[in-house]
């Protein structure tokens, strides 16, 4: 509703007509969200639009956009990271923060709640917030009650005045409970649990227990929890590149000091930039090996910033920057050599990290052999930043003093050619590839390679591979797909690779 | 001062000749005639350019460059920066094929860049890392960013780190640059194995430029992946006569080496 006002640039003054958002449910267009004035006129969610219009002709109507709403919630959840790393979406339009052990950083639970509401107001949203011992209790209080801060152990007293609907049980259960005289949650906990479970299911009584603080499960955070997080908040938002870089360097040094104390090195670093208007940018860099080298990490960040298509837009400035070490591994202090240089393997690893930060993981690759006779699958690309497999399959074995039996460069997929062979089973005498005619001078083959019947569809054909050299000395690897008469009537020819 | 004479030779060299530019050793190709003509080999820590004579010869040029890089790199890692278009036009690098040329693919770091600028960035970055044995850059086509300044920068980086940098050019005409040597390559009919099977990769080289001022000349060499060395081949007598289509087949089935 408020997102709509913001998008349309209208601020629901008293003179504006009431606003409703609609959605098509079944065959009828029904109201799903209403503003205060619409509610005051007695309209309710679920009413068909035709009925609503009959009652109040001067309605402003628009379609509900659930995707945009979901995006807004994601953005808010990103922004809520500033209060706690444990943030979960609480559908349909709630956020759940686990602030255990973190509230004192913001001046206590009540002050933190004030912060949250204040910030939402700044973003043009009205929010209700509650702090309680369990997620279910906080949700019920925020949605149905007079929201506030529940002291430890005070859950039962806090929810006592809530209507039974606050359990958010299926409507039939709520109606049944109301008919039985249970209007609020005051008496319900005193009832024996067994008949309640028998009548309404185990889930309801379990939920009730959680609301009362008798049972508890933690929320599942949206983002993985960092091993170490350090942050700086700014009373006055910063926006200059030099300032930002200096802050990131300070944070990196802080994080590395902590790592040093633990005897660990970071594998993945993530910096989150919280913009004042609620936007959050994240920059992540990874290292191939655990690292405690602040200069190297900074270099990776600079590579990353350079490679960004749209540079970090500070807008009205960032008011919080946080650096998280997402993954850390044990790292023993290493000794440099006599001339103060790192070991060779480490230097290559650092180079791979820098290249990966600039070009991305999927563009800096290493080759891994695959144990198969199928030339299509004989190699696998893996990011070079990943460790090589500890037990690699051997590359294709060959006899000593044999010229290369496999091409330097392979086409994927193989390229169709028009070939002319003198003998049905023999090598081609000439072939045409990319509109150029090649006369075959010498040939070796066939090397018959059967399809992997345990992987490929049943009708895959056998391939006869030939190594060819044309009259100009170019060397090719071609194959005929299918055996004459046994598998196919008119086999097709393909060029699979080019030799050096 | 007298102490210095008792030090191991390598350490003494390090101590007595600090930061001497162009102090990098040469690497030999393994082909004696070629090495003699080059004055002992090609320069390490320098930029070398290899042009494919025609665009379809790009695999040959890549193979020749890789072979040179293997000679230069020793046991160290090789960084190969390829433009995406080269992979589409000439096929992707194939591990078993690399292994067959005598190169352990585990030593390869492959960088795939969208454009020439990306290749230059990756190449320069790798050329500054002394732990790398050789850097191969494979852009495609006439590349404007690859001008004299870019090649000078690469030469400087290579000189400082001692990394040998190779630039493989396909579908491009040779242009002035700061390269220590510039070659043009086309495939040469190989020395046949038994039963007329194609043999080891053979190259017909033209030396276009050499820093020592060598004149333009041609060589025929063969790469032996077993020995990881080039070998001299006798120049072919005149233009190669095309074998009549199916000429090898006329002699009968025995002329073909059958495998599988």
**B67 is a domain residue:** yes
Q: Which residue has the higher pLDDT, A201 or B190?
A: B190
Selection from A135, A138, A137 nearest residue A127 by Cα: A138
Which residues on chain A are in Cβ contact (under 8 Å) with B118? 359
∠ Cα A109 A111 A112 (to 5°): 65
Beta-bridge partner residues of A226? none
Q: Do A444 and B257 touch (CB under 8 A)?
A: yes
Among B29, B44, B27, B91, CA closest to B224:
B29
Instruction: Looking at the complex, report in whole angstroms how far the Cα of residue A432 sits from the nearest Cα belonging to chain B.
Output: 13
Average pLDDT value for residue range A282-287: 88
Best B8, B13, B91, B105 member to test A by mutation, with max A CBs in 10 Å, is B91
Say which DSSP state B195 is in: G
* Cβ within 8 Å, pair A410-B112: no
Here the CATH number for the domain that contains residue B217 is: 3.40.50.300
Whether the per-residue pLDDT at A40 is higher than 90: the answer is no
**Residues A212, A214: Cα–Cα separation, whole Å:** 6
For A220-246, the pLDDT digits (tens) are: 888 888 888 898 888 898 888 888 889
Strands A87-90 and A318-330: unpaired
The chain-wide mean pLDDT, for chain A, equals 84
The counts of H helices and E strands in chain A are: 13, 17
**Close Cβ partners of A281 (under 8 Å, ≥ 6 residues apart):** A272, A273, A275, A312
Query: Angle A455-A458-A461 (CA atoms, 0-180°, nearest 5)?
Result: 95
Determine what percent of chain A is predicted with pLDDT higher than 90: 15
**Chain B residues 116-155 with a CB less than 8 Å from chain A:** 118, 121-122, 125-126, 129-132
Q: Do B246 and A422 touch (CB under 8 A)?
A: yes
Q: Compare all CA atoms of chain B with the CA of A412 and give the residue at the minimum distance.
A: B91
CB atoms within 10 A of CB A180: 12
Task: For residue range A240-261, list pLDDT tens digits in order.
Answer: 888 888 999 999 999 999 998 8
H helices of A263-343, in order, are 294-307
Q: A424, A484 in Cβ contact below 8 A?
A: yes
Q: What are phi and psi of A341, to 5 degrees?
A: -105, 150
CA distance B40 to B34: 9
Strand partners, B186: B204
Q: If residue B224 lies in a helix (H) or strand (E), which one and from where to where?
A: strand B217-224
Number of A:B CB contacts under 8 A? 243
Q: Are strands A318-330 and A264-275 parallel, antiparallel or unpaired?
A: antiparallel
Please give the Cα distance from A346 to A410 (Å, whole number). 32
B227 contacts in chain A (CB < 8 Å)? none
What is the bridge-based pairing of β-strands A19-25 and A60-63?
parallel
| Residue that the structure tokens 């190297």 belong to | A296
Within an 8 Å CB–CB cutoff, is residue B62 touching chain A?
A: yes
CA torsion, points A340, A344, A348, A351, in degrees to nearest 10?
10
Whether the pLDDT of residue A136 is over 80: the answer is yes
User: Do residues A142 and A129 lie in contact, with contact meaning Cβ atoms separated by under 8 Å?
Assistant: yes
Q: What span, in angstroms and rounded, lies between the C-alpha atoms of A50 and A72? A: 29
Q: Name the residue in chain A with its Cα closest to that of B102.
A: A404
Strands (DSSP E) along A206-292, which ranges? 228-238, 264-275, 280-291
pLDDT on residue A299: 87
Number of domain units in chain B: 1
Q: DSSP letter at A185?
A: S
A447/B249 CB distance under 8 A: no
Q: A430 to chain B: nearest residue by CA?
A: B245
Domain region containing B135: 30-234
Per-residue pLDDT tens digits for A386-438: 877 766 677 766 666 788 889 999 998 899 999 998 888 889 999 999 999 99
User: Distance between CA atoms of B107 and A421, rounded to whole angstroms?
Assistant: 40
DSSP B14-30: HHHSTT-TT-PPEE--S
- Contacting residues of B for A348, CB less than 8 Å apart: 77, 109, 129, 131-132
In this structure, how many other beta carbons lie within 10 angstroms of the beta carbon of residue A341?
12
Q: What is the pLDDT of residue A340?
A: 61
Contact, B199 vs B226, CB < 8 A? no
> CB distance A441–B189 less than 8 Å?
yes
Name the pairing type of β-strands A364-369 and B132-138. Answer: unpaired
Query: Residue B167 corresponds to which tokens in the numbers above?
Result: 């630039």
| Topology agreement, domain A2-64 and domain A228-357 | no
**Cβ contact (<8 Å) for A473 and B240?**
yes
Would you tell me how many other CB atoms lie within 10 Å of the CB of residue A335?
7
Q: Which of B197, B148, B202 is nearest to A468 (CA)?
A: B197
Q: What local confidence, expressed as pLDDT, does residue A338 receive?
A: 64
Q: Angle, to 10 degrees, between the axis of helix A202-211 and the axis of helix A193-200?
A: 130
Contacts of A397 in chain B (CB under 8 A): none
Query: Which has the closest alpha carbon to A8: A49, A45, A60?
Result: A60
**Chain A residues in contact with B204 (beta carbon < 8 A):** 473
Through-space distance between the first and last CA atoms of chain A, rounded to whole angstroms: 66
**Cis peptide preceding A446, ω within 30 of 0:** yes
Ranges of each domain in chain A: 2-64, 104-211, 228-357, 409-498
Which single residue is written with the structure tokens 């040998």? B164
Q: Do A442 and B63 touch (CB under 8 A)?
A: no
Lookup: tokens for A455? 């992987």
For residue B204, the tally of other CB atoms under 10 A from its CB is 23
Q: What pLDDT was estimated at residue A289?
A: 81
Taking CB atoms and an 8 Å cutoff, what residues of chain A touch B201? Answer: 403-404, 475, 499-500
**Which CATH number fits the domain A2-64, given the four candidates 3.40.1170.60, 3.40.30.160, 3.40.50.720, 3.40.50.620?**
3.40.1170.60
Nearest CA in chain A to B259: A447
Second CATH level (architecture) for the domain A228-357: 2-Layer Sandwich (3.30)
Which ranges of A12-56 does DSSP label H, i.e. alpha helix?
Answer: 36-40, 49-55
pLDDT given at position A409 = 94
DSSP character at residue B115: S
**What's the token pair of residue A276?**
């004042």
Q: What is the mean pLDDT of each run of 10 residues along chain B (260 residues)?
A: 57 53 77 90 93 91 95 92 90 91 91 92 93 94 88 93 94 90 94 87 93 89 91 75 50 43
Give the residue from chain B lying closest to A401, CA to CA: B226
Three-state SS sequence of A371-416: CCCCHHHCEEEEECCCCCCCCCCCCCCCCCCCCCCCCCEEEEEEEE
Answer whether B39 touches A (CB < 8 Å): no
| CA gap A36, A18 in Å, rounded | 8
- Which residues, 6 or more positions from A460, have their beta carbon under 8 angstroms from its beta carbon? A451, A453
Quick one: pLDDT at residue A7? Answer: 53
**Mean predicted confidence (pLDDT) in A329-344:** 71
Better pLDDT: A32 or A414 = A414
Residue of A nearest to B15 (CA): A339
A447–B96 C-beta distance less than 8 A = no
**Residue B219: CB partners within 8 Å, gap ≥ 6?**
B31, B33, B34, B37, B204, B205, B207, B232
Do the Cβ atoms of B213 and B39 come closer than 8 Å?
no
Q: What is the enclosing helix (H) or strand (E) of A5?
A: helix A2-8
Closest CA to A354 of A293, A313, A311, A310: A293
Distance from C-alpha of A114 to C-alpha of A225, rounded to nearest angstrom = 25
List chain A residues with CB under 8 Å of B136.
none
Q: Report the distance separating Cα A288 and Cα A315, nearest Å.
A: 33
Distance of alpha carbon A291 from alpha carbon A152, whole angstroms: 42
The C-alpha of A168 sits at a distance from chain B's nearest C-alpha, in angstroms, of 54
Q: What is the pLDDT of residue A18?
A: 79
Does some domain include residue B257?
no
- Interchain CB contact of B238 with A (< 8 Å): no
B249 and A472 within 8 Å at the Cβ level: the answer is: no
Reference B40, options B86, B80, B71; nearest CA is: B71
* Chain A residues with beta carbon closer than 8 angstroms to that of B129: 347-348, 350-351
Q: Does B226 touch chain A (CB under 8 A)?
A: yes
Query: Does B228 lie at the interface with A, CB-CB under 8 angstroms?
Result: no
């Amino acid at each position: 509703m408020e997102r709509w006002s913001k998008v349309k640039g209208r601020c629901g003054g008293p003179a504006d007509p009431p606003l409703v958002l609609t959605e098509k449910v079944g065959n009828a267009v029904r109201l799903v969200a209403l503003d205060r004035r619409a509610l005051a006129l007695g309209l309710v969610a679920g009413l068909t639009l035709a009925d609503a219009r009959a009652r109040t002709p001067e309605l402003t109507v628009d379609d509900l956009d659930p995707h945009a709403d979901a995006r807004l919630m994601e953005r808010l959840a990103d922004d809520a990271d500033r209060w706690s790393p444990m943030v979960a979406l609480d559908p349909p339009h709630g956020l759940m923060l686990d602030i255990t052990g973190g509230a004192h950083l913001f001046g206590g639970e009540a002050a933190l709640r004030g912060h949250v509401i204040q910030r939402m107001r700044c973003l043009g949203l009205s929010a209700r917030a509650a702090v309680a011992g369990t997620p279910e209790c906080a949700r019920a209080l925020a949605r149905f009650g007079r929201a506030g801060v529940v002291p430890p152990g005070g859950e039962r007293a806090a929810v006592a005045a809530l209507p039974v609907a606050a359990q958010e049980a299926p409507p039939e259960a709520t109606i049944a409970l109301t008919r039985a005289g249970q209007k609020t949650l005051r008496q319900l906990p005193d009832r024996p649990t067994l008949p309640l479970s028998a009548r309404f299911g185990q889930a309801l009584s379990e939920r009730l227990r959680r609301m009362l603080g008798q049972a508890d499960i933690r929320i599942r955070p949206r983002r993985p929890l960092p091993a170490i997080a350090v942050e700086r908040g700014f009373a006055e938002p910063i926006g200059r590149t030099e300032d930002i870089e200096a802050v990131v360097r300070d944070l990196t040094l802080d994080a590395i000091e902590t790592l040093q104390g633990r005897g660990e090195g970071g594998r993945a670093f993530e910096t989150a930039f919280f913009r004042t208007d609620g936007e959050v940018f994240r920059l992540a860099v990874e290292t191939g090996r655990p690292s405690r080298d602040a200069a190297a990490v900074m270099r990776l960040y600079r590579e990353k910033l350079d490679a960004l298509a749209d540079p970090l837009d500070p807008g009205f400035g960032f008011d919080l920057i946080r650096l998280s070490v997402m993954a850390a591994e044990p790292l023993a202090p290493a000794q440099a050599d006599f001339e103060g240089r790192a070991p060779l393997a480490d230097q290559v690893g650092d180079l791979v990290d820098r290249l990966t930060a600039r070009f991305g993981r999927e563009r800096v690759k290493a080759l891994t052999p695959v144990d198969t006779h199928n030339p299509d699958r004989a190699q696998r690309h893996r990011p070079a930043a990943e460790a090589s497999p500890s037990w690699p399959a051997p590359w294709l074995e060959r006899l000593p003093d044999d010229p290369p039996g496999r091409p330097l460069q392979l086409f994927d997929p193989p390229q169709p050619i028009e070939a002319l062979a003198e003998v049905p089973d023999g090598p081609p005498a000439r072939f045409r590839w990319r509109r150029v005619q090649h006369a075959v001078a010498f040939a070796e083959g066939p090397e018959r390679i059967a399809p992997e019947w345990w992987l490929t569809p049943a009708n895959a054909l056998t391939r006869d591979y030939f190594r060819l050299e044309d009259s100009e000395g170019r060397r090719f690897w071609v194959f005929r797909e299918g055996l004459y008469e046994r598998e196919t009537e008119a086999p097709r020819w393909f060029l699979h690779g080019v030799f050096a | 001062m007298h102490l210095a004479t008792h030090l191991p030779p390598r350490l003494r060299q390090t101590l007595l000749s600090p930061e001497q530019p162009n102090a990098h050793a040469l690497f030999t190709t393994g082909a004696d005639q070629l090495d003699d003509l080059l004055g002992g080999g090609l320069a390490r820590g320098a930029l070398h350019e290899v042009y494919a004579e025609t665009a379809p010869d790009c695999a040959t040029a890549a193979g020749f460059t890789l072979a040179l890089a293997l000679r230069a790199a020793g046991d160290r890692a090789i960084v190969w920066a390829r433009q995406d278009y080269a992979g589409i036009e000439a096929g992707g690098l194939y591990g078993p094929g690399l292994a067959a040329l005598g190169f352990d693919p585990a030593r390869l770091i492959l960088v795939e860049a969208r454009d020439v600028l990306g290749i230059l960035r990756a190449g320069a970055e790798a050329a500054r890392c002394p732990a790398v044995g050789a850097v191969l850059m494979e852009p495609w086509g006439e590349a404007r960013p690859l001008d004299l300044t870019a090649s000078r920068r690469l030469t400087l980086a290579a000189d400082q780190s001692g990394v040998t940098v190779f630039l493989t050019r396909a579908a491009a005409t040779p242009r002035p640059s700061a390269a220590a040597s510039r070659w043009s390559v086309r495939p040469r009919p190989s020395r046949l194995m038994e039963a007329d099977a194609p043999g080891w990769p053979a190259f017909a080289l033209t030396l276009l430029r050499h820093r020592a001022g060598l004149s333009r000349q041609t060589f025929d060499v063969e790469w032996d992946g077993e020995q990881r060395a080039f070998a001299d081949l006798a120049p072919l007598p005149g233009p190669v006569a095309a074998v009549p289509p199916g000429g090898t087949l006329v002699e009968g089935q025995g002329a073909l080496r059958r495998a599988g």
